Structure 1
Amino acid sequence: MYYQLYELNHAALQPARAYADAVKMLYSNPLNPLSYTRWGRSVAATAELFERTTRRYGKPQFELPETLIDGQPVPVTEKTVWSRPFCNLLHFERAVPASRHSDPKLLIVAPMSGHYATLLRGTVEAMLPHADVYITDWADARMVPVSEGRFDLDDYIDYIIDMLHALGPDTHVMAVCQPSVPVLAAAAIMEARGDRFAPASMTLMGGPIDTRRNPTAVNLLAEEKGIDWFRENVIMPAPWPAPGFTRSVYPGFLQLSGFMSMNLDRHIIAHREFFMHLVKNDGDGADKHREFYDEYLAVMDLTAEFYLQTVETVFIRHSLPRGEMTHRGVPVDPAAITNVALLTIEGENDDISGLGQTQAAHDLCVNIPAARRAHYVQPAVGHYGVFNGSRFRAEIVPRILGFIAQRRKEDRRPRKLQLVRSTGTD
């Protein structure tokens, strides 16, 4: 019912949005003398601010047509190389000469936590000059018909394993935030099976491996409310006419509301500054605001079963650090990981995954040799700065690349080759 009311409210505002858009066009048209006055720009700014704060933001595009390799521009083609109902695997294919040395295969596992994979556009862009990049493009649950079945945390882990099989050996994995737990679980499962397609290395960035350490407001809310509260208050059927009509989902707008409420003063200030940029005709400042919020306000729904299982497993029961996590009834044992190198990265000011939560992976993966593990804390960045921004490009990317390069130089330890049981999604 609440989701339907949300949709109804959005539809009811459509005429007002159309009127605001028309007003903006009128008062910003260079043929209108008022567009050159402060009053005219104020009217146009008010209209645009209203339209932007009430619209639904569609799925953004990566729009990365080229990259620089060895100082030269190289065309990049985005291709879907693996597809399932709830995820596509995108490959950013670079037109590099066949004679050039091969770069490492890098699978970036984007978070399935309300935003689209394009939230990591900057991450992909920074890695493209140095790696053959793939990224998970998770589907909006409201757009997946009910006939396609359910999708939970076990399925998520299966998807990661199947992607690694599709990419082949010597693939390096980067998990940003939420995927850190399922990626670690997938590596443990694959190593326990003697799977030769287990990743060569995994980089876990700002992930909630053990949320008992330095808990944040997000962590405390989950423990305080309990799983029944989430099931009763935030799970809703997808509304008509979405293709996933009647599918039980955790709506993206609820996740966005939660994130914005944590830093509401910052968002209010940002929109006030956006208004002033428009009034002062400061195009650069306004464009930066549009670019950020076009991405930040574009949200997707999660399946109810995935959301609830993740909340209970990761944030309430702390199943992985307690040694109680299972995958399809089989225990997940990080101690089984011996070959996969481990790099963990945290932000000093992270208010989503507190300091120490990602580092906890080292305490669980006790059988990874010391030479194949590393931990880094990036000073003066929050959660977003762990995987994007100037400090990410200047200080974090070189460490990731250096860690991967070191792993590639090592002689790989022989692995047992055995028939791996299908996950059922091949």
Structure 2
Amino acid sequence: MLYQFFEWNHAAMAPLRAVAEATRSLYSSPLNPVSQTEFGRSVAAMAELFERTTRMYAKPEFGLDETSLGGQRVPVADKPVWERPFCRLLHFERALPKGRQPDPRILIVAPMSGHYATLLRGTVEALLPYAEVYITDWTDARKVPLSDGRFDLEDYTDHVIEMLRFLGPDTHVVAVCQPAVPVLMAVARMEEDGEDCAPSSMTLMGGPIDTRINPTAVNKLAEDHGIEWFRDNVIMHVPYPQPGFMRPVYPGFLQLSGFMSMNLDRHLIAHKDFFWHLVKGDGDSADKHRAFYDEYNAVMDLTAEFYLQTVEQVFIEHALPKGTMMHRGRPVDCSKITRTALLTVEGENDDISGVGQTEAAHRLCSSLSDDKRVHYLQKGVGHYGVFNGSRFRSEIAPRIIDFALTHGRDANKAQAAKAAPAPKGRRSDTLTDDAPVAVESDAVAGPIAVAVAAKVGAARRLRKPRGA
């Protein structure tokens, strides 16, 4: 009934939100002399703060309308090119200048862990000047009718395989956080079956390949609770009149509550600062707050079967590193991967996927030659910084492009390499940037994190790389 109460409460607040929005408009209108006073700005600020903290946020837009190619700005349009009930594949189509050699084709597999794929807007933006970028756009489970069937971890893996087949040979796949496991499973299956469409390279970023290594607080609590606790406490049915009525899900609002509780003090301070920015007329700071929370507060439901299977097999049983992971009745054997080059990326201060959890993929892919494997540890960043922010743009994205160019099968890769940014190092180099971890570092915690976040409180562990 909790989901129903949430919906009823939101509906009951609708008249108050309408009053708040009318009040904000009245006291911020330039035609109202009071709007120029501190009193008027304070009333408008309180009204806006109330409206924003009680609304349900819609799915954001990517908003990537252009990019730079060789110093020239060209238009970009995101177009769906493949679609299933639970996912669309978006292509960021660039208006390429005539005569430009083909760029690497990159499939970004976004996490299905509560937030929309638009959380990777910065990831896409950084890669667009150097690659043909595609991204998985997962559907809110409460929008999918029950008649469209189930969607679990094996279905997720099947979707990755289907999309790689659709894109064809010489595709490079990038998995951000949670999808590191199903992407590795998909590549292992395609390699074992000898498929030509197996990707030329895969990049796994901040993913929970083996959560026994440097376990974070949420990893430990997952094991302590057991799968039955999650099944009994966090699985609910979509209420009427949503299209997915009666579908069992892990609700997005519960996900968001968990995220908030992990850093409640920071969120309270951020909202207090937002209020004073509005009172003081600091429009730039207020706009940054709006932009971040428009994204952060937009959450989606996950199907119960996907959520529970991920928690059980990835975080409790550690099925993949133990060699017991199954896909459609067949064991997943990562040692079958021999052609797809592997790049793993971790953040030194990642409190969601501890240092070493993603690197573990190299031990599983034991048949890969040394020239097809690279591990990179980015110093000074948390989970969010692994795929977004200034260090991602300047240090990590160039390595992804360079890795794709190095291991692509495309005949024009040498020509394309001239346009690619040059990385500052190779292999396991680490950087020395000591800037603090971003506030948003927990923004795409895997499905497990939010279910136990209320018990985690403010506990956060900063980890150093082994040997440091």
Same fold? TM cut 0.5? yes
CA-CA distance at 1:78 after TM superposition: 1.2
Give matches, 1:4-153, under 5 Å: 4-153=4-153
Q: Distance in 2 between matches of 1:253 and 1:353?
A: 23
CA-CA distance at 1:97 after TM superposition: 2.6
CA-CA distance at 1:98 after TM superposition: 4.1
Alignment deviations for residues 84-114 of structure 1 (CA, whole Å, 9 cap, x no partner): 0100000011110341110000000000000
CA-CA distance at 1:227 after TM superposition: 0.4
Q: Distance in 2 between matches of 1:221 and 1:61?
A: 34
Give matches, 1:411-422, under 5 Å: none
Runs (5+) with no aligned partner, structure 2 = 412-468
Q: Distance in 1 between matches of 2:410 and 2:152?
A: 36
Change (3 A) 1:82 1:350: same
Range moving further from structure 2, 293-302 or 32-41: 32-41
Q: Distance in 2 between matches of 1:390 and 1:33?
A: 42
Letter paired with 1:362: H
Give matches, 1:289-328, under 5 Å: 289-328=289-328
Give matches, 1:330-341, under 5 Å: 330-341=330-341
CA-CA distance at 1:261 after TM superposition: 1.0
Q: Distance in 2 between matches of 1:378 and 1:409?
A: 28
CA-CA distance at 1:320 after TM superposition: 0.4
Secondary structure of the residue aligned to 1:362 is helix
Match of 1:344 in 2: 344
Task: Give the 4+ runs in structure 1 shifted more than 3 A.
Answer: none
Alignment deviations for residues 40-91 of structure 1 (CA, whole Å, 9 cap, x no partner): 1111111111110110000111111111110101111111100001000000
Secondary structure of the residue aligned to 1:133 is strand
Change (3 A) 1:29 1:337: same
Q: Distance in 1 between matches of 2:349 and 2:54?
A: 31
Q: Distance in 2 between matches of 1:221 and 1:289?
A: 32
With the length of structure 1 as denominator, give the TM-score of the two structures. Answer: 0.95
Q: Distance in 1 between matches of 2:278 and 2:121?
A: 26
Range moving further from structure 2, 34-43 or 333-342: 34-43
With the length of structure 2 as denominator, give the TM-score of the two structures. Answer: 0.87
CA-CA distance at 1:256 after TM superposition: 1.3
Match of 1:252 in 2: 252
CA-CA distance at 1:409 after TM superposition: 6.6
Q: Distance in 1 between matches of 2:396 and 2:220?
A: 29
Match of 2:271 in 1: 271
CA-CA distance at 1:405 after TM superposition: 1.3
Secondary structure of the residue aligned to 1:154 is helix
Match of 1:218 in 2: 218
Q: Distance in 2 between matches of 1:97 and 1:332?
A: 43
Q: Distance in 2 between matches of 1:19 and 1:27?
A: 12
Contact 2:200 2:409 in 1 (8 A): no
Q: Distance in 2 between matches of 1:349 and 1:271?
A: 25
Match of 1:157 in 2: 157
Secondary structure of the residue aligned to 2:46 is helix
Q: Distance in 1 between matches of 2:410 and 2:345?
A: 22
Q: Distance in 1 between matches of 2:4 and 2:195?
A: 46
Match of 2:390 in 1: 390
Q: Distance in 1 between matches of 2:318 and 2:345?
A: 20
Q: Distance in 2 between matches of 1:34 and 1:212?
A: 60
Letter paired with 1:305: E
Secondary structure of the residue aligned to 2:408 is helix
Letter paired with 1:62: F
Q: Distance in 1 between matches of 2:49 and 2:216?
A: 32
What RMSD, in angstroms, separates the aligned Cα atoms of the two structures?
A: 1.0
Contact 2:173 2:202 in 1 (8 A): yes
Match of 1:419 in 2: none
Q: Distance in 1 between matches of 2:105 and 2:98?
A: 16
Match of 2:430 in 1: none
Q: Distance in 2 between matches of 1:78 and 1:107?
A: 14
Letter paired with 1:400: I
Runs (5+) with no aligned partner, structure 1 = 412-426
Letter paired with 1:116: Y
Q: Distance in 1 between matches of 2:359 and 2:262?
A: 24
Secondary structure of the residue aligned to 2:129 is coil
Letter paired with 1:14: A
Q: Distance in 2 between matches of 1:11 and 1:199?
A: 47
Letter paired with 1:221: L
Letter paired with 1:345: V
Contact 2:274 2:285 in 1 (8 A): yes
Q: Distance in 1 between matches of 2:214 and 2:16?
A: 45
Secondary structure of the residue aligned to 1:182 is helix
Match of 1:368 in 2: 368
Contact 2:23 2:47 in 1 (8 A): yes
Alignment deviations for residues 112-144 of structure 1 (CA, whole Å, 9 cap, x no partner): 000111011111111110100000000000000
Alignment deviations for residues 332-389 of structure 1 (CA, whole Å, 9 cap, x no partner): 0111101110001111111111111111111111111111111111111111111111
Q: Distance in 1 between matches of 2:200 and 2:137?
A: 22
Alignment deviations for residues 399-420 of structure 1 (CA, whole Å, 9 cap, x no partner): 1111111112799xxxxxxxxx
Match of 2:240 in 1: 240
Q: Distance in 2 between matches of 1:409 and 1:158?
A: 24
1:174 pairs with 2:177: no
Q: Distance in 2 between matches of 1:106 and 1:352?
A: 25
Alignment deviations for residues 271-300 of structure 1 (CA, whole Å, 9 cap, x no partner): 111111111100000000100100010000
Match of 2:450 in 1: none
Q: Distance in 2 between matches of 1:77 and 1:198?
A: 27
Match of 1:205 in 2: 205
Percent identical pairs in the alignment equals 70
Match of 2:407 in 1: 407
CA-CA distance at 1:190 after TM superposition: 0.5
Alignment deviations for residues 7-58 of structure 1 (CA, whole Å, 9 cap, x no partner): 0111111111111111111111111111111121111111111110110000
Q: Distance in 1 between matches of 2:39 and 2:364?
A: 61
Q: Distance in 1 between matches of 2:321 and 2:23?
A: 56
Secondary structure of the residue aligned to 2:97 is coil
Contact 2:170 2:409 in 1 (8 A): no
